[in-house]
Structure 1
Amino acid sequence: MRLTAAASSLVVLLSMASTVPVSAAEPDIFGIKLGAPLALPLCQISVPAPAAPRSNKGMGARAFNKLMTPPPEPPKATPPATGLCVAPGTTNMAVGNSEFAAGEYGYLVFATEEFPAWVAPIGMAIGAGADDAFSLEGAGGLVLLRNGRVIALGFNTTGFEAQPRVMELLKRKFGSPSSQKAVTWNNDLGGSRESISAQWRKPDFFADYSSVVQSQPMRAQGLSGGIGFLSIGNDVGQQVLQPAASKEAEF
């Protein structure tokens, strides 16, 4: 029921796309324009067939069957034949400095043959999922909306492996970064490797890229390659994704 409600609300947002003019100067990522209504088709959600019923002869058999029966498979977002589709989120989800309700965010799903090699499936992200009631196998990213308009996009990347390609694409699309630094990663065997942290800033636009997520679970894995993250958005997206800097007490 929640899935149906979320999909219906997102359909309303998508239907606005043809009635609102879009400036040609607005940046686009995979054809998605920041600041504009989301003009993507909804993904088809397939529901797996229920498991065949087991024999329920006797109280002991029923208890045993209940114990041994695996939980039902969740519905799955089916990749489109080409391009991207969006699978609407079904619960509230905290992202950055804000909380997004059902209909205010969705998962981007690439066509199977068009899935970029540098994008990691969203299910690989630490803490991803938001208890959504369907499987996100192959989902390629997260789209965030405010008042029906795209304010930010987020993509997991395949860590060290992806960083040369991601930096090449970002520079080609947005020019040289406004700031960039190397972050050294050490492991327990004395080895080290440098990851990249880069930011782009333009009027009503930001892009933040960390080729390896800076988190304790990833540091504990040494040079495993890890998961990186790329977020792109406008000023509204930046405000809700990045908590305001705290001020020290004044005396």
Structure 2
Amino acid sequence: MDYSSMRLTAAASSIVVLLTMGSTVSVSAAETEIFGIKLGAPLTLPICQLSIPAPAARSSNRGIGSRAFNKLTAPPPEPLKATPPSTGLCVAPGTTNMAVGNTEFGPGEYGYLVFATAEFPAWVAPIGMSIGAGAGDAFSLDGAGGLVLLDNGRVIALRFNTSGFEAEPRVMELLKRKFGSPGSQKAVTWNNDLGGSRESISAQWRAPDFFADYSSVVQAQAMRAQGLSGGIGFLNIGNDLGKQVLQPASKEAEF
């Protein structure tokens, strides 16, 4: 697979996979790094290595018509697999168009963040649970941790799935340590099919050319399937351009 057209810049150095734990409340995109990724700057992560999984062994019939039968019953080929780095993060560039918010990103305009296996944050949920790959992306996303969105090669937003209620205390702790208290926060009540209820958190941070939005549970169906102990949330962090992409401003009807 040729990624020469991708606008993702590879760097030889590894990055530190920890949220910066500074207590500065005054935040701007120009000084904000998440997992070593700086908002508004070119993405400088190594490109993930892609490997081809070994094909599964299968039995084949012999005789008249067997070739056509075997072809029809053969499992689809295994996709390329993004191999996690030994440390830090790598990026697996998206290979097709994918809609995020009200914007469609093409190849080279987004990528999947893949954590080193031993450094995968416990609060990050598997990407396929709600973000998913762009239809037709030709690789497996085992181990992927989030999306990075680009504009002219510069990072405008990061998007992570979170593991619902279970992750809520840890994510709020990290966000408050890094960005201070949220500018707004509210509780959202969820009810399951058995008459039980539980509250999740919706919190927002705002500063010049910076935003962070966290919802600890956003998918009712997933929560019902897992009981009130589950659910899936999201964390979006970016600059003003990224906010426009992920949360387009609504306008009154014009006459």
Q: Distance in 1 between matches of 2:60 and 2:29?
A: 63
* Residue number among 117, 129, 132 corresponding to 1:128 in the alignment: 132
Higher relative contact order (CA 8 A, sep 6+): 2
Q: Give the TM-score of the pair, scaled to structure 2.
A: 0.86
Residues 139 and 56 of structure 1: is their aligned pair in 2 closer, same or farther, counting only changes over 3 Å? Answer: same
Could you tell me which residue of structure 1 aligns to residue 232 of structure 2? Answer: 227
Q: Distance in 2 between matches of 1:138 and 1:47?
A: 16
Could you tell me which residue of structure 2 aligns to residue 20 of structure 1? Answer: none
Deviations along 1:165-210, one digit per CA (max 9) or x if unpaired, are 0000000011110100000001122211000000000000000001
Residue aligned with 1:39, SS: coil
Q: Distance in 2 between matches of 1:9 and 1:203?
A: 33
Contact 2:31 2:38 in 1 (8 A): yes
Correspondence 1:1-251 to 2 at 5 A? 3-4=1-2, 7-10=3-6, 12-14=7-9, 25-50=30-55, 57-125=62-130, 128-131=132-135, 132-213=137-218, 215=219, 217-218=221-222, 221=225, 223=228, 225-248=230-253
Deviation at 1:242, TM superposition (A): 1.0
Contact 2:29 2:39 in 1 (8 A): no
Contact 2:126 2:144 in 1 (8 A): yes
Deviations along 1:95-150, one digit per CA (max 9) or x if unpaired, are 0021111000000000000000000110122x611121100001001000001100
One-letter identity of the residue aligned with 1:29 = I
Residues 59 and 162 of structure 1: is their aligned pair in 2 closer, same or farther, counting only changes over 3 Å? Answer: same
Contact 1:26 1:35 in 2 (8 A): no
Contact 2:11 2:45 in 1 (8 A): no
Deviations along 1:1-39, one digit per CA (max 9) or x if unpaired, are xx41xx2233x541699xxxxx99520000000000001
Q: Give the TM-score of the pair, scaled to structure 1.
A: 0.87
Residues 174 and 86 of structure 1: is their aligned pair in 2 closer, same or farther, counting only changes over 3 Å? Answer: same
One-letter identity of the residue aligned with 2:128 = G
Contact 1:204 1:234 in 2 (8 A): yes
Gaps of 5+ in 1: 18-22
Contact 1:105 1:142 in 2 (8 A): yes
Q: Which has more helix, going by share of residues?
A: 1
Residue aligned with 1:14, SS: coil
Deviation at 1:67, TM superposition (A): 3.2
One-letter identity of the residue aligned with 1:208 = D
Contact 1:79 1:109 in 2 (8 A): yes
User: How many residues matched?
Assistant: 239
Residue aligned with 1:94, SS: strand
Q: Distance in 1 between matches of 2:60 and 2:166?
A: 50
> After the TM superposition, which of the residue ranges 79-88 and 63-72 deviates more from structure 2?
63-72
Residues 224 and 245 of structure 1: is their aligned pair in 2 closer, same or farther, counting only changes over 3 Å? Answer: same
Q: Distance in 1 between matches of 2:29 and 2:138?
A: 37
Contact 1:178 1:200 in 2 (8 A): yes
Residue aligned with 2:96, SS: coil
One-letter identity of the residue aligned with 2:133 = G
Q: Distance in 2 between matches of 1:27 and 1:144?
A: 15
Gaps of 5+ in 2: 13-27
Deviation at 1:248, TM superposition (A): 4.5
Residues 245 and 161 of structure 1: is their aligned pair in 2 closer, same or farther, counting only changes over 3 Å? Answer: same
Q: CA RMSD in A?
A: 2.5
State the identity %: 76
